[in-house]
Amino acid sequence: MVEPVTEFLRYLEGERNVSPHTLRAYAGDVAELLSFLSVSGGSTGDEAPISSSVLDSVSRHTLRAYLADLQERGMSPRTLARKLAALRSFFKYLCARGICKTNPARMASARKLGRPLPHFLNVDEVAQLVEAPDTSTPLGTRDRAILETLYSAGIRASELAALQLSHVDIISGVIKVFGKGRKERLAMIGAPATRALRDYLDIRSQLVKRSDVRHLFVNHRGGPLTSRSVQRIVEKYALSILPARKDVSPHTLRHSFATHLLDRGADLRSVQELLGHANLTSTQIYTHVTTKRLKQVYDNAHPHA
């Protein structure tokens, strides 16, 4: 089974353009299933080699037993759902290759998930956070631009880390973003973010050591920033300015971006486009946040609430 799995991963990388993080997750999910199938009788007994006939004989009930085994080992419903999504893609690929006749994962289902409400900052908290860096230093100027861009454009940490100089149009206030699956979209940046980016671009040469580095944001050694580095930058300032909020991350600024837009009358479809969500249901989680806040206002203000 090494060859079909390798080809499946190449397909994900080459044709589906999935991120390296997703690729690693899918590889681990498929390997975990194959390990389960390699043991005769499902979860106990002697290990047996995986063949095409074994894969073709995998049924919805086999996968339900596999998911139940993972659940017994303490795996969360969200992780189970992600693993099942990976297996749906895997068996769909095997069906296209003629290795399997049907996709057993298509009809399998994990336990239904309740979607947690996203954490977000209020407008004053965002202002405190983005103004925290010391802009008298090159790194502080860079960090201010990072924080302003994350909030102004509502982009993910990975999308910010991947930005290149050619992706930014300061004059128009637009940046070109490559999201999940390398899907391209345009994100807006407002006046504060534009000013912060201009200030950063003025001193960027003090950080860059090589002229061939085309990434917009660089680290103190002059190389491209990673997603993890962006996360650490946000966490550092959040802990210093908002010590009571220990859950602040780049995604918190993305959640705040969406919530604040909807609070001020933006329509859901526009917010979906700005966030780069393929499905409107991913954006609808923010309507629950705004409805909850409206309910709180009503309860506090209405005399007959």
Catalytic residues: 156, 180, 251, 254, 277, 286
Which residue is associated with the tokens 């790194």? 139
User: Quick check: 260 and 161 in contact, CB under 8 A?
Assistant: no
Q: What's the CA gap between 214 and 223, in Å, rounded?
A: 9
Rg (CA), the chain: 23
Residue 199 exposure: Cα atoms within 13 Å on the Cβ side: 21
Q: What share of the chain is helix, strand, coil (3-state, %, to 5)?
A: 60, 5, 35
Q: Tokens for 104, please give them.
A: 């057993």
For residue 218, the 8-state DSSP code is: B
Side-chain half-sphere CA neighbours of 142 within 13 A: 23
CB 130 within 8 A of CB 147: yes
Count of CB atoms situated within 10 Å of the CB of 70? 19
Calpha distance 274→280 (Å, rounded): 12
Among positive and negative, which fits the CA dihedral 204, 210, 212, 218?
A: negative
- The answer to whether 34 and 1 have CB atoms below 8 angstroms apart is yes
